[in-house]
């Protein structure tokens, strides 16, 4: 007779066993070579990033007039040209820019913008402006569905199509009809107790023979997958140092999965904290430093692993902030903002017109570029999916890649 402790271990392993092969995919379970398919990694800058103090239009006289406490000095910025520069804490991003591995798309938004976090984020995640359409599939989930249909795999194997690296609810962007997404919050989620006591745990009672065989098979599979992942991760370790932050650790785990040959086509993570209504200066600087350094560490890690040519990273926020600072040394919800696209395959440089801080609509920036054109470019040229149905219209795709 097995102890209650053994039974609980067995039960939890039965529940977890299907997860590990799903997460680890080809390499951990079957030890196959890494796929050469193209991968998109998305960072959601949650809360509404102040794009004006991220990609700073220091050459615009209206910048100094609109911001007294939050104005960044031109001499401290990482200048991209004679008119705009990156925040002083984004040195790592400037290095990517100079290396041709970072494209900054300026003035991205959508018509009749909504300043609600929830509504605007759902607009970006579903690629639909009508709130009545916000309960359907996400733009990435729909793209993965289309990939499966094109490959004649309506019921794909146990491998996940997308992985959300985080500890919150799976973002709506990843919702699909046929594609599957799993969530991980830390590398420890891929580790199991490999003790002989757990390995040999068996159920008893009516139907025990059939259940016993299933349980033992699932436990062995899960343990083998975890051990193989740990071994390959150790064999393919990197000298790249990531920031010790939430985003840094999330991108480090993403790189670990990619180095181990995980077949997911989309990875998604979130950096929170950008809703800077008050005392913005130091919070924003910290967030941009973490974002910039984490992004460069991730891309350097992939480059060292020989994966740089098949991975592209996109970072977006649901909206920007208002041009004028408020009375609390912060900024309130605005409209358009910059989007970052990074990786070896991207064109690199500045794209789109720099917003004119003197030509506003009710104190907000005019959007120079509909985000669905950006999505259309990613869908057509990177994920190899026709964009029209997913983007809800005939948007001219941006040429994003070299």
How much is the mean pLDDT over the chain?
Answer: 86
Whether the Cβ atoms of residue 70 and residue 276 lie closer than 8 Å to each other: no
Let me know if residue 15 belongs to a domain.
Answer: yes
| pLDDT interval class at 224 (50, 70, 90) | low
Q: How many domains does the chain have?
A: 1
Of the candidates 241, 259, 253, 249, the residue with the CA atom closest to the CA atom of residue 190: 253
Q: What is the DSSP letter of 343?
A: S
In-domain check, residue 136: yes
Mean pLDDT score, 174-188: 87
Residue 45 lies in a domain: yes
CATH number at residue 312: 3.40.720
C-alpha 147: how far from chain center: 19
Report the pLDDT value the prediction gives residue 238, as an integer from 0 to 100: 75
Model confidence at 242: pLDDT above 90: yes
Report pLDDT digits (tens) over 78-109.
999 999 999 999 999 999 999 999 999 999 99
pLDDT of residue 27: 45
402 assigned to some structural domain: no
Query: Each residue of 130-166: pLDDT tens digit?
Result: 888 888 899 999 999 999 998 875 544 557 899 999 9
| Cα–Cα distances in angstroms (integers) from residue 394 to residues 79, 124, 375, 377, 390, in the given order | 35, 17, 12, 12, 10
State pLDDT tens for residues 26-73: 444 433 434 679 999 999 999 999 999 999 999 999 999 999 999 999
Quick check: is 397 in a domain? no
Residue 261 pLDDT:
87
137 belongs to a structural domain: yes
351, exposed or middle or buried, with CB in 10 Å at 0-12, 13-18, 19+? buried
CA distances (Å), origin 250, targets 13, 63, 260, 275: 24, 34, 16, 21
Which stretch of DSSP H or E encloses residue 29?
A: helix 19-30
**Structural domain of 65:** 4-391
Q: Is residue 149 situated within a structural domain? A: yes
399 lies in some domain? no
pTM: 0.86
Query: Which letter, b or e, does each residue of 13-33 get, where b requires 16 or more Cβ atoms within 10 Å of its Cβ?
Result: bbebbebbbbbbbbbbbeeee
pLDDT at 323 over 60: yes
What pLDDT is stored for residue 135 in this prediction?
83
């Amino acid at each position: 007779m097995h102890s209650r402790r053994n039974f609980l271990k067995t039960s939890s392993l039965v529940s977890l066993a299907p997860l590990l092969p799903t997460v680890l995919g080809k390499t951990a379970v079957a030890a196959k070579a890494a796929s050469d398919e193209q991968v998109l990694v998305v960072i959601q800058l949650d809360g509404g990033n102040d794009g004006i103090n991220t990609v700073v239009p220091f050459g615009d006289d209206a910048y100094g007039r609109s911001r007294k406490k939050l104005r960044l000095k031109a001499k401290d910025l990482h200048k991209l040209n004679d008119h705009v520069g990156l925040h002083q804490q984004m040195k790592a991003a400037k290095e990517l820019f100079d290396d041709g591995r970072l494209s900054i798309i300026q003035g991205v938004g959508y018509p009749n913008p909504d300043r609600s976090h929830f509504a605007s984020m759902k607009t970006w995640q579903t690629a639909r402006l009508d709130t009545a359409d916000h309960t359907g599939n996400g733009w990435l989930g729909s793209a993965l569905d289309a990939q499966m249909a094109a490959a004649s795999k309506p019921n794909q194997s146990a491998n996940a199509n997308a992985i959300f690296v985080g500890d919150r609810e799976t973002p709506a962007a990843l919702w699909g009809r046929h594609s599957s997404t799993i969530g991980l919050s830390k590398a420890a989620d891929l580790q199991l107790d490999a003790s002989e006591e757990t390995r040999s745990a068996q159920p008893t009672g009516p139907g025990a023979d059939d259940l016993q065989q299933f349980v033992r098979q699932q436990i062995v599979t899960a343990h083998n997958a975890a051990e193989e992942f740990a071994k390959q991760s150790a064999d393919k370790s990197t000298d790249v140092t990531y920031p010790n932050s939430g985003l840094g650790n999330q991108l480090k785990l993403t790189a670990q999965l990619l180095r181990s040959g995980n077949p997911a086509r989309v990875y998604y993570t979130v950096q929170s904290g950008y809703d800077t209504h008050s005392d913005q200066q130091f919070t924003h600087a910290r967030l941009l430093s973490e974002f910039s350094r984490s992004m460069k560490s991730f891309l350097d890690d992939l480059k060292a692993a020989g994966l740089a040519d098949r991975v592209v990273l996109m970072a977006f926020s649901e909206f920007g902030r208002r041009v004028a600072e408020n009375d609390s040394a912060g900024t309130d919800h605005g409209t358009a903002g910059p989007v970052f696209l990074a990786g070896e395959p991207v064109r690199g440089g500045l794209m789109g017109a720099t917003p004119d801080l003197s030509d506003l609509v009710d104190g907000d920036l005019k959007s120079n570029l509909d985000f669905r054109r950006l999505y259309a470019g990613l869908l057509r040229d990177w994920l190899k999916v026709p964009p029209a149905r997913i983007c809800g219209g005939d948007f001219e795709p941006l040429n994003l890649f070299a």
